[in-house]
A and B are shown apart, each in its own frame.
Chain A
Amino acid sequence: DSGVTQTPKHLITATGQRVTLRCSPRSGDLSVYWYQQSLDQGLQFLIQYYNGEERAKGNILERFSAQQFPDLHSELNLSSLELGDSALYFCASGEKYQDTQYFGPGTRLTVL
């Protein structure tokens, strides 16, 4: 158990809908990272937050957004969902100047 929690574990929704994925980092970690894992794209970095502020962006679509709250949990919002958004979404946390990221168990999103 990495100490990173993600909810829900599974999410099934329809095209055009909006969903919110939640992540709680390890105790003491200020950085949160979001990744998307799909069969054809592999593991793709989406976005990073540190202590509430966005710090780095990767291959994140404009339909997706994220935020990190004062209690350090983070939410990833996915809107106008398409079939191709079906994937595993992982959250990871880490310390600012440390390099290791610790991953949560993921949320499996299925868009029908």
Chain B
Amino acid sequence: AQSVAQPEDQVNVAEGNPLTVKCTYSVSGNPYLFWYVQYPNRGLQFLLKYITGDNLVKGSYGFEAEFNKSQTSFHLKKPSALVSDSALYFCAVRFATSGGYNKLIFGAGTRLAVHP
């Protein structure tokens, strides 16, 4: 069964420090992985995705994610955190339906708090 886990409910980091938001997955076949961010009272915004190729994926707002097949992980990273990065972050894995259409399964979300 396809699933995705975000082991941390909240991550606290000081501004300027590197940040990591963790995600692990379970999927049959090749994984298609995504990160989304949700700011307060807003919809989810697409950050980046891994389909194939380079294990380090670069996305919006300076974020990147590292795909690790052996550890079945897809951690989100940023070298230097900003207070404005404070938000709710969701990892997702693609699940292909029998009709060939795709739906996403989301993790529970991790709240990132960046302190000045």
Cα distance A106–B108 when bound, in Å?
18
Q: Is the CB of B109 within 8 A of A100?
A: no
Number of interface residues of B (CB under 8 A): 23
B43:A105 contact, CB within 8 angstroms: yes
B105 nearest CB neighbor, chain A only: A45
Q: Please report the total number of A residues contacting B with Cβ < 8 Å.
A: 24
| Chain A min CB distance to B37 (Å) | 11
- Contact pattern, A 32-64, Cβ under 8 Å of B = 1, otherwise 0: 010000000011010010100001101000000
A18 at the binding interface (Cβ < 8 Å)? no
Least Cβ–Cβ distance between B6 and chain A, in angstroms: 10
The distance in angstroms between the C-alpha atoms of A72 and B38, with both chains bound, is 25
Evaluate contact between A45 and B103: CB separation under 8 angstroms: yes
Q: A94-B102, A100-B34 are in contact. List 14 more A-B contacts (CB 8 A).
A: A4-B43, A31-B101, A42-B107, A43-B109, A50-B101, A55-B97, A56-B97, A56-B101, A58-B103, A92-B44, A99-B102, A103-B43, A104-B43, A106-B42
